[in-house]
Amino acid sequence: MMWLRHWLLALQFFTRVPVTGRLAGWVGYSPAMLRASAAHFPGIGLLVGALAALVAGGLLVLLPPNPYAPLVAAAFSTIATLLFTGALHEDGLGDVADGLGGSPDRQRALEIMKDSRIGSFGALALVLAIATKLALLALLGAHDVRALCTGLVLAHVLSRAWPLLLIRCLPHVGDAGGSKSKPLADAISGRALAAGAAWTALVVAAVAGLQGPLFVVAPLLASALAFAWVLRLFRRRLQGFTGDCLGTTQQVCEIACYLGLAFLP
């Protein structure tokens, strides 16, 4: 039952799905519970990916044959995920781009990242990220509907596994008093990391069974390279990470997964 409470807390934190009333009272809350809920971040990715696949696959089946149908499916699939998650990770990407692009000074960059207003670097990062996603998803959809749907599920799970490793590798350097992610990012236990890896392995094994081993190897390698890049960037520029960095890692690794899949024959 504690496992279910942690999963529901992760659902409440990482999506717009309401957990209210008597259910919220049963789930409860504490910083320790929020830290434990991080183990289910890839499991939330499974839900997001399933929703994205359902929208994209459904539209490609229902729409009449047209060269632009994959782009329409990619657009509505992306809209569905943004509504489901409240653009939580995209918000982090915009803040990090503004902070790191706005100042070479570490402390000033952290101050900019806390500003809720979006700047030029953040706007450019969001536009380019969404445009790249749409282009890659449309390319996958034009190639094969099943590849698009399984690729969406795989990418949303993998991209939510890498932030757990970021928490393990770097210290949290955000505002301890005002950061909602501080309890989550304070530390991650080996048990929680193993649970997140189990979620990921389960999905990877299922997708490999459906599409073949190469289908999972390409996005795994691409997202691993993307993670290595953001890890080095945050270590060098910030000497740690903030909650916005977790969202940025998810976004960068998600795009990397699609790019890896795009290279498959």
In a domain, 26, yes or no: no
Tell me the residue range of the domain where 130 lies: 44-262
Q: pLDDT tens-digit profile of 118-132?
A: 999 999 999 999 999
Contacts (Cβ under 8 Å, ≥6 apart) of 203: 42, 46, 153, 154, 157
Q: pLDDT tens-digit profile of 211-229?
A: 999 999 999 999 999 999 9
Q: Which stretches of the chain drop beneath a pLDDT of 50?
A: none
In a domain, 207, yes or no: yes
Question: At residue 97, what is the residue type?
Answer: A
* Cβ atoms 53, 145 nearer than 8 A: no
Whole-structure pTM value: 0.94
Contacts (Cβ under 8 Å, ≥6 apart) of 265: none
240 backbone φψ class: left, alpha, beta (φ>0; ψ -120 to 50): left
Q: What percent of the chain has pLDDT over 90?
A: 78
Name the phi and psi angles at 109, rounded to 5. Answer: -60, -40
The domain total for the chain is 1
Q: pLDDT tens-digit profile of 177-196?
A: 555 555 666 678 888 899 99
In a domain, 121, yes or no: yes
Per-residue confidence (pLDDT) for residue 35, from 0 to 100: 81
In a domain, 4, yes or no: no
Instruction: State the average pLDDT for the chain.
Output: 93
In a domain, 29, yes or no: no
